[in-house]
A and B are shown apart, each in its own frame.
Chain A
Amino acid sequence: MALEDYKADMERCSQCSYCKWIPLDHVKSWRFAKGCPSIAYNNFLSYSARGRFAVALSLLNSQSNYTDRVVDIVYKCVTCGSCDVSDKICRYNLEPLEMMHELRFRLVEDGQLLPQHMAVIEHLRKEDNMMMEPRAGRGDWAEELDVKHITSEQAEVVFHAGCRFSYDKDLRETARTAVTLLKNAGVDIGIMGKDESCCGGKAYDMGYKGEFVKFAENATEAWTAAGVKTVVTSCADCYHAFNRLYPPLGAKFEILHTVQYLDRLIKEGKIKFTKTVPMRVTYHDPCHLGRQGEPYVPWEGKEKKIKGQIVVYEPRKPRYNGAWGVYDPPRDVLKSIPGLELVEMERIREYAWCCGAGGGAREAYPKFSNWTATERIEEAKSTGTEAIVSACPWCERNFTDAIDTTGEKMKVFDVIELVQQAI
């Protein structure tokens, strides 16, 4: 697809402004009704899906040209997909998130780049990670971890740590715990250690499709060579890349997020809890695990019209609207932990507010990214809980940094950490 292919969407946009809010049925308060961080922070219409449709159309029609403002409009978005869910409350033929990606691809092609992204991507090209760290340190997180290395030993399941867990020293213990939990539950698991590379998902979200494809092909080749059947990751961004973005390129692996595997093992009795964790927590749905965590469904077809002017697709087009994301496994895991009480925030599941780390916002717009995380912490506080739990290291890092900025007392955990506490 190309940006031009979304011209129909641009001209069919309903101008309804649903994209700015969580699905209106779910509005429980004035305070937590907003869905799109980008327009909530920037305020001009242009920073909503509706506005971006209009800006893209203006560019395609040569009514306007690239300016600093246009670049800002296109990149100051966390690509969380909240607009995509809300738009699809009333529409079956609009794809605002896909259009947003195509718009970024176009800007990158045209050399309209953000210096902050360029630095990260330049580093990615050289060192295979998004963390501005040397390639040589990629495997350090797994030092002295008793686990197979799939480049030398066969394993049915490969655990992909991802860039954040590999390099963030505050968080890497979570990845080690995940591997240990799975291994102790009898899973034939291995890692790639120092030979692991970035999934490419963040590069895709930033608009660097070429980089993404390179990393996707390399990972697919390595896993195939190692006889891998299942890929497990504790990172929602990696999960989304493997689950939704790799299959169109030919990858055929079972993709599981750790919370899905843990949920399965707990229900099978292969993980048993021996301790209580007396804590009230709330769960934050990572965008790439929740509303963007729906499985990829191959489709090749075309638009047609029935009843004169009803737009449909032949064959039936898969619909990604957050309905079938990964919502229950992390909740079921948390609910199964003795002593732990799960209290929900107002915005959850497909209409969860983003942590602010996605889409390259953390790298290019730290203030906006931090504000978005702070908003979520405020919502978590409103539940009266002592901790916010997530299933993605990027969420955890952004929340932790926001808390450091504001001085809140809210604790931040990964689901895996709480499972470990109960064992």
Chain B
Amino acid sequence: MALSREAYQAFEGIVGTDNISDDPALLDSYRYPLSHTAIHIGPYYRVYTPRGEAVLLPGSAEEVQAIVRECNKYKIKFKASSTFWSAWGYPLEENTIQLDMRRMDQILEIDEKNMFAVVEPHVIGATLQAEAMKVGLNTHIHGSGSSCSCLASATSLGGLGPDTNYMGHHSENLLGAEWVMPTGDILRVGSIGSGLGWFCCDGPGPSLKGLVRGMVGMNGAMGVFTKCAIKLYPWPGPATLPVEGKPPAYKAVLPDNIRVYTLGFPAWEAWADSCYLIWEAGIGYIAHRQFNMFGRDLKGAMVKILSDPTKTLSDIEELLDDPEVQKMTEEMKRDYQIVLAGMTPRDIEWQDKALDRILETTGGWKVQGMLDPDLYNWALLYMIRLGHKNLNLVYGGGYDGCFGLGGTPDFATSGPETIPRVEEATAFKAEWEKKGNIVATGGDAMMGGIGGMGGGGHAMWESFTHFDPHDKASTEGTLEFFDAATDYGIKKGWGPGMEKMNAYARGADGRSTPKEIRERILSAAAQPEAFRYQRKIKETFNPNDLGDAYYRTLDEPEK
């Protein structure tokens, strides 16, 4: 249903003629293909998110507020997104306008002394990091990479990434937010709400961090965040990354107090032990099983390709026959990458010694092939800037994660029988790879951090599955595999995996999941009461129901 001319003109009056459009082709560039990276539903071949009624480009919080007020007046849903990386940011239903927050892209402040930045929605990890580094600071970069909005992950999603072990989840880094509520009122959450600056999201002042943020955020379904403050961390490196080389094999030679290693281990138990020991030692700036997203069998060849501008994917097969690559691939079978950043020369020497001691204790090693200067300097830049993160789409253009073994490292690396869960999942996927619909990576393409949350805790293993979204058989074969993975996860007691993570909100047609299915899924969650409580929050803060099903709510059970 198209917007009424009256409503369109009201919106046009707010943002101006140049910043609104309802042209059909333009609107189609704001539809997300579920045959691609479905972000944890599907994939569904040639299915798209619904077309919005209009796209608006607001330029200020006041404009957002005025838009939301008109939405309440005309009962039109709205969905804001900044960098549009995933299906979360797109409408679920007709009668929804899309807010593209691109014009609000300012870094409003970097407070060097108090180590935080105040940013608008379209500030991305790369720009914030570049500006922070000029004053000796750094920002957490979300796992989706440095092209993504800092505000979106800090206010509205989980916000974990490779540097989480040192710089936390962005959910932890939020120090305050300006929130245009679904009613159109503006609330400044945290100390900023009392005019005391951006230092604390929990007050003094309105402390609604738990309500607006929680652990997983409101997924863009309850109002619009128009600015926020993010905690920054020390950066003991140069003010500008000294990048060199030909594309895409960019590299950075950094001072010796910043080092990167790929660590390999003889067994999964040793792998997990090393994580605990690293937390105990308090070392590590970035620690993540990153390059395994290319797959256990292919990652050695892939890092060679990506660090050499003369190579392409056509070189994979030849490289797989190279004994040197084979040796490195074998050494990297159970691995992760770690960046050490010493605040002083003594610090880096101590950290390296501590790491060597951990490797001695666990029987692990520094993968020698990755110490080759070309690979070393490439990996160092990759891990720090996370500017190549979308290599998860390099093979055929499509990826999604499955399983998602979340917990302590022991959860993935051990099992109720003698086989670690990671190897069970690997064997299961390897069998499906033989059908030819997903990339044959050797089964294990699991990627994730070694933990976070202040030096321990939660590790997340997402099993990357690569497919071709242009190929019907590949896309449908991937869906078939994901359905099987869900069944397998349930059978093994792991629960449904990341492949179904958003099934509660968006269905196979790209639209809202029917209520009865949504309620069934959410009722089966570990804490369904939380969603009943969220229903009350929604009724209070969003009385006209102008958000969408990404905000999880449950009706009271029938008595």
Contact with A along B458-484 (1 / 0, CB 8 A): 000000001111110010000000000
- When chains A and B are docked, how far (Å) is the Cα of A11 from the Cα of B148? 21
**Is the Cβ of A46 less than 8 Å from the Cβ of B25?**
yes
- A24 touches B (CB below 8 Å): yes
B104-123 contacts to A (CB < 8 Å): 107, 123
Q: What mask results when residues 172 to 183 of chain B are scored 1 for a CB within 8 Å of chain A, else 0?
A: 000000000000
Tell me the minimal C-beta distance from B329 to chain A in angstroms.
14
With known contacts A30-B130, A317-B314, A17–B83 Cβ distance under 8 A:
yes
Which of B85, B127, B391 is within 8 Å of A33, CB to CB?
B127
- Shortest CB–CB separation between residue B312 and chain A, in angstroms? 5
Check if B540 is an interface residue, CB within 8 A of chain A. no
B-facing mask of A55-74, CB < 8 A → 1, else 0? 10111000111010110010
Q: Could you say which of A16, A23, A30, A319 contacts B85, with CB atoms under 8 Å apart?
A: A16
B29 within 8 A of A: yes
Tell me the bound Cα distance from A311 to B314 in angstroms. 9
Determine whether A28 belongs to the interface, using a CB cutoff of 8 Å to chain B.
Answer: yes
A8 to B398, CA, bound (A): 12
What distance in Å separates the Cβ of A51 from its nearest Cβ neighbour in chain B?
Answer: 4
Please tell me if B100 contacts chain A, counting CB pairs below 8 Å: yes
Contact (A54, B247) CB under 8 Å given A24-B126, A65-B24? no
Within the complex, which residue of A89, A311, A323 is in contact with B388, where a contact is CB–CB below 8 Å? Answer: A89
Most buried by B among A23, A67, A94: A23
Q: Which of A273-313 contact B (CB under 8 A)?
A: 305-313
Q: Contact check: which of B25, B107, B386 meets A73 at CB < 8 Å? A: B25
How far apart are the CA atoms of A331 and B29 in the complex, in Å? 40
Contact status A309-B55, CB under 8 Å: no
Say whether A58 contacts B24, CB under 8 Å: yes
The answer to the question of A184 belonging to the interface, with a C-beta cut-off of 8 Å to chain B, is no
With CB as the reference atom, state the residue of chain B lying closest to A33.
B127
Does the CB pair B397–A12 fall under 8 Å?
yes
Q: A7: CB under 8 A from chain B?
A: yes
Cβ–Cβ contact B21 & A308, under 8 A: no
> Do B437 and A308 touch (CB < 8 A)?
yes
CB within 8 Å for A55 and B36 given contacts A90-B394, A308-B440, A309-B468: no
CB-CB contacts below 8 Å: A1-52 with B: 7-8, 11-18, 20-21, 23-30, 33, 43-46, 50-52
User: B69 — which chain A residues lie within 8 A by C-beta?
Assistant: none
Q: Point out the residue from B240, B390, B469 that lies within 8 Å of A18, measured CB to CB.
A: B390
Chain B 384-410 interface residues, beta-carbon cutoff 8 Å to A: 385-391, 393-398
Interchain CA distance A68-B378 in the complex, whole Å: 45
B241 at the interface (CB under 8 A from A): yes
* Interface check A85, CB cutoff 8 A: yes
The answer to whether A154 has its CB under 8 Å from any CB of chain B is no
B19 x A312 contact (CB < 8 A): no
A342, B313: Cα distance in complex, Å: 37
Residues of B contacting A308 in the complex (Cβ-Cβ under 8 angstroms): 433, 436-440
Complexed CA–CA distance, A64 and B35 (Å): 20
Task: Please state if B309 and A323 are interface contacts (CB–CB under 8 Å).
Answer: yes
A93 in contact (CB, < 8 A): yes
Instruction: Across the interface, name the chain B residue whose C-beta is closest to A29.
Output: B130
Min distance, Cβ B386 to any Cβ of chain A, angstroms: 8
Do A54 and B387 have beta carbons less than 8 Å apart? Answer: no
> Which B residues touch A28, using CB under 8 A?
130, 240-241
- Chain A residues whose CB sits within 8 angstroms of the CB of B395 once the complex forms: 307, 309-311
Instruction: Check A69 against B21 for contact (C-beta < 8 Å).
Output: yes
Cβ-based interface call for B381 (8 A): yes
B65 at the interface (CB under 8 A from A): no
Known: A43-B19, A44-B21, A59-B25. A12 touches B312 (CB 8 A): no
Q: Which residues of A contact B468 (CB under 8 A)?
A: 12, 305, 309, 311
Are the C-beta atoms of A25 and B250 separated by less than 8 Å? yes
Given known A45-B30, A46-B29, A90-B248, contact A7–B470 (CB-CB < 8 A): yes
Chain B residue numbers with a CB within 8 Å of A23 are 247-248, 250, 387
Distance between B313 CB and nearest chain A CB, rounded to angstroms: 5
Judging by beta carbons under 8 Å apart, are A89 and B85 in contact? no
- Give chain A nearest CB distance to B48 CB in angstroms: 9
Given that A309-B466, A312-B314 are known contacts, is A54 also in contact with B21, CB under 8 Å in the complex?
no
Q: Report chain A residues within 8 Å CB of B31.
A: 54
Q: Taking the complex as formed, is B246 at the interface, i.e. its CB lies under 8 A from any CB of chain A?
A: yes
Report if B189 contacts A (CB, 8 A): no
**Interface CB pairs A-B, < 8 A, 11:** A15-B84, A24-B388, A28-B241, A33-B126, A63-B24, A89-B247, A90-B390, A92-B313, A93-B396, A306-B316, A323-B246
Chain B interface (Cβ within 8 Å of chain A)? Answer: 19, 21, 23-26, 28-33, 35-37, 46, 55, 57, 83-85, 100, 102-103, 107, 123-124, 126-131, 145-148, 240-241, 243, 246-248, 250, 252, 298, 309, 312-314, 316-317, 381, 385-391, 393-398, 433, 436-441, 466-471, 474
Closest 10 CB pairs of A and B: A12-B397, A24-B387, A58-B28, A64-B25, A69-B23, A51-B29, A64-B24, A54-B29, A16-B390, A46-B29
User: Interface on A for B, CB 8 Å cutoff?
Assistant: 7-8, 11-18, 20-21, 23-30, 33, 43-46, 50-52, 54-55, 57-59, 63-65, 67, 69-70, 73, 85, 88-94, 305-313, 316-317, 319, 321-324, 350
